[in-house]
Amino acid sequence: MSEGPRNFAGTPDAFERLWTPHRMVYIGGENKPDDDRAESCPFCAIPARSDEDGLIVARGETAFVVLNLYPYNPGHLLVCPYRHVPNYTDLEAAERAEFGELTAHAIRALAAASHPSGFNTGMNQGEIAGAGIAGHLHQHVVPRWQGDSNFFPIVAQTKALPQVLGDTRDLVAAAWERTC
């Protein structure tokens, strides 16, 4: 019998496997713009969709809150200005104020929806700083639980998520309304 890779599936060994082929979209860069133009920016396109289709949790006057399509944890939210700007310092005073208020409300809604033990919040400005979409500012709000991180992200660049995005959006959107 050949030892080629096609013969490994189903062959008993010491490894458990979590197949996540849907992650290949992210790894391959699908939906990631090749440039920083607003015309190719997914964050500029999302507000034209319905809340359910765009995974939008809440809309403000100058910014909106959306689920991350490639979350680190269930409930990973992004706060995005409607305006296509790359840096926090590019926001006008009213945009900065609403950006901050939506971030605070996102934390309250996630706390009500899923009772995390803590949060990571932050933004990566510029590709060199880790921004996946550097042309459009966005702040991450990531709920954290004790033990939510294991060897998968380090060893296999894989994160196991127990809830599908649509269900997560519905749960957080309902909590958002209750925490207004």
Q: How far apart are CA 115 and CA 111, in angstroms?
A: 5
Q: What's the number of CA atoms in the CB half-sphere (13 Å) around residue 56?
A: 20
List the beta strands (DSSP E) in the chain: 56-59, 63-67, 77-81, 118-122, 139-144
Q: What amino acid occupies position 101?
A: E
169 Cβ contact partners less than 8 Å away, ≥ 6 residues apart: 51, 52, 55, 56, 57, 67
- Would you please indicate which residues are annotated as catalytic (active-site) residues? 138
Cβ distance 67 to 76 under 8 Å? yes
